[in-house]
Amino acid sequence: MLYTIMPIEDVLGEPPWKRRPYTAWRGPAEPAMGPAGTGEPAMPVACNVDGVPVMVWPMPDGKGQVERVMSTNPAHYLNPAIAPGSIVDVKAHL
């Protein structure tokens, strides 16, 4: 038995890797960035932004949206430039 206030479609919906995490900035006609012909979104990429390890969803323009900060330093989580959801230049940090 599962007790939740969320709709059951949200709880038992698609797994995270099948969702489109960057639909806010991607237009409806823009192709997916995954492997050619699959139509799947690209997977998050690990990179260092200013010495801080983060997971980033790549974008077509060479930038990326930060998904997760993977640091053990609490001060890194207070940096708004690498906060989850912020846009960073992936090409400069790979």
SS3 85: coil
Please report where in the chains the tokens 């940096």 appear, as a residue: 79
Q: Tens of pLDDT along 1-27?
A: 778 887 777 777 766 556 655 554 444
Structure pTM? 0.57
* Sign of torsion over alpha carbons 24, 26, 27, 29: negative
Q: Tens of pLDDT along 30-79?
A: 454 554 445 555 688 888 998 999 999 888 888 888 999 999 999 999 99
d(CA 22, CA 19): 9
Task: Return the bridge partners of 54, or none.
Answer: 47, 69
